[in-house]
Amino acid sequence: MPRNKKGLSTRSVHGGEHRDKPFSSVTNPIVQTSTYVFQNTRELIDYTTGEVDREEYGRYGNPTKSVAERKIAELEGGEDAALFSSGMSAFTSVLLAMLSSGAHVIVMDECYRRSRQFCRQILPRYNIDVTFVKTGDYDELASAITEKTRLIVSESPTNPYLNVIDLEQVVEIAARHRVKVLIDGTFATPYNQKPLDFGIDLVLHSATKYLGGHNDLLSGAVVGSAPLIAAVREFRDVTGGIVDPHGAYLLIRGLKTFALRMEQHNANGLAVARFLEGHPRIRKTYYPGLESHAGYEIACKQMSGFGGVVSFEVDGDMDTTIRFIDAVRIPYIAPSLGGVESLIEQPAIMSFYEMDRSERLEIGIKDELVRFSVGIENADDLIADLDQALGQIQA
């Protein structure tokens, strides 16, 4: 594969784009159409037989989406990328495209709630066996592999504890058994981590988060070798989870400043994590850039920055934490992460409120846990805000 030697910011701005665009535009137009016209039957036949590369129908593709796909493939250093209407559409599509009835998949247990739900509740209905292994337990991972295992799935860093998977070890275990590996790299982004360089087969992103970066779109991406992405695309052609032209435009727009944003997210994330770790009202801070974090050493080896998500436990109970969350003034209380605006949430209430408390604790969601998606505001302002909010709570 020819390696693109250009820097990441240059690739963010120019990657995947044609220099000559319609109407001499600098930007890529939003091609807002559901279907595409053939001048005559000859043209249709030439398209069908593959002589001519063009669009046919909106569920199969649109030019705006293709630019965004090529840009993301270049950022990740992959041969090809496929874009979906959401991160979950990308996740469910890639798993269903790669697995058949009777197959077995291994999933690292610390992951996005809906990814876990899909693997636990939906895949077994199609006779696909799922084994959850403890995140970061490579012996358990190796011994979970059977001759039916087709895929290993993990996030890195994970949600919400930012645990970092040793990609080299996972690739080595998978290669011994000819099993493919999918890494959800949403929290890291290609700015901080390039799983394909480690031999990972497929990288997934909720492009809703850092790639889009502005809390204004939903999309998901899968990046990997051309044959694997072709299979995923074929599945998408049938099931229809493609990103729409307007969403693709917003994604291209957001990616222009990707490198700048990530630099600020990384710097802010580290500054906020250090502040929280040193604060007497905080029991524990989870951030892979802190030496106290379990994944610190692997993170330093395989990541070039640690991102903008910081999780922490307030020294107190459910109510103390609610009072803290309600006292912050700059971050919005909202789910999601990775945008320019800081967002803060208490997972026990935001995503897991309906779950039994004991069940919640079993998967590590404590009452006093807070997930903070640090935006690109000034770190001093964010820290001053956290400090005043922590000053208002009583244990």
Ligand X SMILES: *Cc1c(COP(=O)(O)O)cnc(C)c1O
Residues designated as active site:
59, 112, 184, 209
Q: What 3-state class would DSSP assign to 390?
A: helix
| 224, containing H or E segment | strand 220-224
From 86-94, 256-264, 267-275, 294-302, span contacting ligand X (CB under 6 A): 86-94
Structure tokens at 201: 């087969």
The only residue of 64, 131, 192, 208 in contact with ligand X, by rule CB under 6 A: 208
Is 204 or 322 the residue whose CB approaches ligand X more closely?
204
Q: Is 192 in the site for ligand X (CB under 6 A)?
A: no
Subset of 129-158 contacting ligand X (CB under 6 A): 155
Does position 307 bind ligand X by CB under 6 A?
no
Compute φ and ψ for 378, nearest 5 degrees: -70, 130
CB nearer ligand X, residue 58 or residue 247: 247
- Interface with ligand X (CB under 6 A), residue total 15
In the complex, the smallest distance separating the C-beta of residue 186 from ligand X, rounded to whole angstroms, is 4
If DSSP codes are grouped into helix, strand and coil, which group holds residue 151?
strand
Q: Least distance (Å) from ligand X to the CB of residue 109?
A: 14
Tell me whether residue 159 or residue 189 sits nearer to ligand X (CB atom): 159
Count Cβ atoms within 10 A of the Cβ of residue 266 and give its class: 0-12 exposed, 13-18 middle, 19 or more buried.
Answer: buried
The distance of closest approach from Cβ of residue 119 to ligand X in the complex, given in angstroms and rounded to an integer, is: 12
DSSP assigned state of 118: I
Structure token pair of residue 221: 């991406």
- Residue of 12, 28, 131, 186 interacting with ligand X (CB under 6 A): 186
Alpha-carbon distance of 211 to 342, in angstroms, equals: 15
Nearer to ligand X, 209 or 360 (CB): 209
Nearest partner of 181 among 218, 210, 220, 142, judged by Cα: 142
Closer by beta carbon to ligand X, 115 or else 189:
115
Residues constituting the chain: 395
| Binding flag, residue 159, ligand X (CB under 6 A) | yes
Evaluate whether 255 touches 209 at the Cβ level (below 8 Å): no
Q: Give the burial string for 46-57 (b: 16+ CB within 10 Å, else e).
A: ebeeeeeeebee
Binders of ligand X in range 1-60 (CB under 6 A): none
Token match 């929290």: residue? 187
Judged by CB under 6 A, the residue of 112, 191, 312, 324 near ligand X is 112
Does 86 bind ligand X (CB under 6 A)? Our answer is yes
In this chain, which stretch among 38-46, 85-93, 129-137, 370-378 interacts with ligand X, using CB under 6 A? Answer: 85-93
- Please report whether residue 88 would count as binding ligand X according to CB under 6 A: yes
Strand 202-206, strand 220-224: pairing: antiparallel
Name the strands in the sheet holding 180-184, side by side, starting at the edge strand that comes first in the sequence. 80-84, 220-224, 202-206, 180-184, 149-155, 104-108, 129-133
Q: For ligand X, which residue of 218, 370, 379, 382 counts as binding (CB under 6 A)? A: 218
User: Nearest residue by C-beta to ligand X?
Assistant: 87
Interacting residues with ligand X (CB under 6 A): 86-88, 91, 112, 115, 155, 159, 184, 186, 206, 208-209, 218, 220
